[in-house]
Amino acid sequence: MDHWYHGLQTRRTRFNHPIEQNPGQRSKPIESLLLEDLSLLIDLHKDGERQGPGGDDETRLAIALSGLGARSQLQVADIGCGTGASTLVLAKALDARITAVDVLPEFLQRLDAAARREKFGARIKTQVASMEALPFAAQSLDAVWSEGAVYNMGFASGIRAWRRFLKPGGILAVSELTWLTQQRPQALEAHWKAQYPEVGTAAEKMALLERSGFSPVGYFVLPPRCWLENYYRPLQARFADFLSRNQNLPAAAAIVAAEEQEVALFERYREYFGYGYYVAKRAGD
């Protein structure tokens, strides 16, 4: 659930435009700025139950659409799991061993602690890895799950790369930034085309799934509460403590400002975009 990482990508875009640096200000190397931002973003998000929009009910709905609940001894991977909100729902709903993958050990440490509390320690294994270099054998998984994270690879690259890990008939379940209307305000379209050129309609995403060797079996849109009550409001509640423990550093204040801008964007334009949840089956074998 690595929607939060969008903040670092947005900041990277800004750092790559020197015109925005203050004249006469001593600039840091881009790599140093990015490491500083990454450390601060981890600090802001590591205590969150979620690192992106989502909900337990929505994960359960995706499970119901997948048909996995009727099967036993499943092998499941949760890619870009963050602190593990979706992983824990999967563990409660399925007879499965789940490998929860994230690139950041700070997030996985929290998931490990939660798994022990919930008595899932034997069924949830955490793995520090990039989603572009996953440690799974071909056709070894019954399901690949990824909520709010596939955009880090790009939807097309992600679904094609992860297909090989699925057994024939295996399930792919991903939530992805999606246009909800055919017409959008020009400013909104320009914003998302700059930040994530692969943003598209559900029809376009479904067609891409079919071209990539999947058969779609279900789709729904995350309701606004998955963004507001489940993600943005808890995030905003952490801003004051985050700024305080980081001595109101300019970089920390900039992160908060960027997050607030993202919240305002969703609040203003939520009828035009959101997260579509796509459930598909590996086909063509």
* pLDDT per residue as tens digits for the range 50-109: 999 999 999 999 999 999 999 999 999 999 999 999 999 999 999 999 999 999 999 999
Return the C-alpha torsion angle 158, 160, 276, 65, nearest 10.
-120
| 116 HSE (CA, 13 A, CB side) | 6
Query: Which pLDDT belongs to residue 5?
Result: 54
Confidence of residue 2 (pLDDT cuts 50, 70, 90): low
Average pLDDT over the chain, rounded to whole? Answer: 90
**Residues in the chain, total:** 285
Phi and psi torsions of 259, nearest 5°: -65, -40
∠ Cα 272 273 276 (to 5°): 135
Which CATH number is 56-224+272-282's, of 3.10.28.10, 2.130.10.10, 3.60.15.10, 3.40.50.150? Answer: 3.40.50.150
CA distance 235 to 37: 17
Decide if pLDDT at 149 tops 50: yes
CA distance 266 to 274: 8
Q: What is the reported pTM?
A: 0.89
Query: Which pLDDT belongs to residue 16?
Result: 29
What stretches of the chain show up as alpha helix (H) in DSSP? Answer: 6-15, 30-45, 56-66, 85-93, 105-117, 155-163, 186-195, 202-211, 224-227, 233-237, 239-245, 250-269
